[in-house]
Amino acid sequence: MTSAGRQPRRSWLFTPATRPERFARAGEVGADVLILDLEDAVAPDAKPAARERVCAAVGSGEYGRRELTIRVNGIDTEWFADDLRAAAQAGPAGVVVPKVSSAAEVHAVEKALEAGGAPEHTAIWAMIETPVAMFAAREIAAASARLTVLVMGTNDLAKELHAEHVPGRAPLLTGLGLALLAARAEAKVILDGVYNDVKDLAGFEAECRQGREFGFDGKTLIHPGQVEPCNRVFAPTAAQIDESRAVLAAWDEALAEGRGVATVNGRMIENLHVENARRILAVAEAITAQ
């Protein structure tokens, strides 16, 4: 799925706010979205300076059409209010809020952004990372029109579950499914969580395929080396694009002839196939435009 501006949203790269020299490099590796991180990657005494750096980067205009977001510190931390105030003034594409567990927290974030003068385009991107958040996922997704993205925090979810990271992610499937249902019920973008072993590109690509098959729109990344396989896996294939074009052509022909169904390669085509074909082509066009 893409944003209203038809931005591709396959790869979302976390970039530490303490390493400003990495901002430009991160923008060059082809990630669709950069998440400038004030939370986990920044030591407590470095947070004020890091906040200034990321806000300056957002306002620099040096990243073209690529979306820039800021991950603030958690709601229960001493830095949260200052982070949110500064982010509101900087006006990124999104403010990524860790460990959102309720609709009330979304409302509080929305109120603070509006009080800080955040532009209309600055969305709330809620990270859901706990069992409580999984059960409240639909309430969270429906809490505000400004909330446009759910982000899976699979590391924290595994910790909370006392689960292990295993191929196939069996311990996390219930949470992933609940979050996906919530996102689709409320028409929000949803991102898969990170893959921790940056040297295991085969395992990473397999998890990207799993996420795409589940229905995730993209995946959060922790290393530039993960961008290319992620972009490739979450992009429509040439075969999917050709089939989608054939579906739309057959559908248009059927409608012109007064028929409510069509066939492509012996398969009956209905409205649901047409909607899916349009979605695939919209993603492909957005990638080409970028």
* pLDDT-based confidence at residue 252 (cuts at 50, 70, 90): confident
Query: Taking the domains of the chain in order of start, what are their residue ranges?
Result: 11-234, 238-289
Per the model's pLDDT, the better-predicted residue between 267 and 119 turns out to be 119
Span 11-234: which CATH code?
3.20.20.60
Cβ neighbours of residue 262 closer than 8 Å, sequence gap 6 or more: 247, 250, 251, 253, 254, 268, 269
pLDDT given for residue 101 in this prediction? 97
pLDDT given for residue 27 in this prediction? 59
* pLDDT-based confidence at residue 204 (cuts at 50, 70, 90): very high
Cβ neighbours of residue 54 closer than 8 Å, sequence gap 6 or more: 17, 36, 38, 70, 90
- Residue 4 above 60 pLDDT? no
Q: Read off the pLDDT of residues 16-33 as tens digits, 9 standing for 90 and up.
A: 887 666 666 655 778 999
Beta strands in the chain (DSSP E): 11-16, 33-37, 67-71, 94-97, 123-128, 147-152, 189-192, 218-221, 262-264, 267-269
Q: Helices in 116-153 by DSSP H: which ranges? A: 131-135, 137-142
Angle, CA 59 vertex, CA 284 and CA 119 arms, to 5°:
75
Name the 3-class secondary structure at 290: coil
Cβ 180 vs Cβ 152: under 8 Å? no
Per the model's pLDDT, the better-predicted residue between 150 and 263 turns out to be 150
* Tokens 């169904």 -> residue: 261
Among residues 154, 160, 194, which one has the least CA distance to residue 177? 154
Structure tokens at 42: 């920044």
Sequence letter at residue 289? A
Q: Report yes or no on whether pTM surpasses 0.75.
A: yes
* Tokens 């004020």 -> residue: 48
Q: Read off the pLDDT of residues 147-199 as tens digits, 9 standing for 90 and up.
A: 999 999 999 999 999 999 999 999 999 999 999 999 999 999 999 999 999 99
pLDDT given for residue 64 in this prediction? 64
pLDDT given for residue 23 in this prediction? 63
- Beta bridge pairs of residue 281: none
- Residue 282 above 80 pLDDT? yes
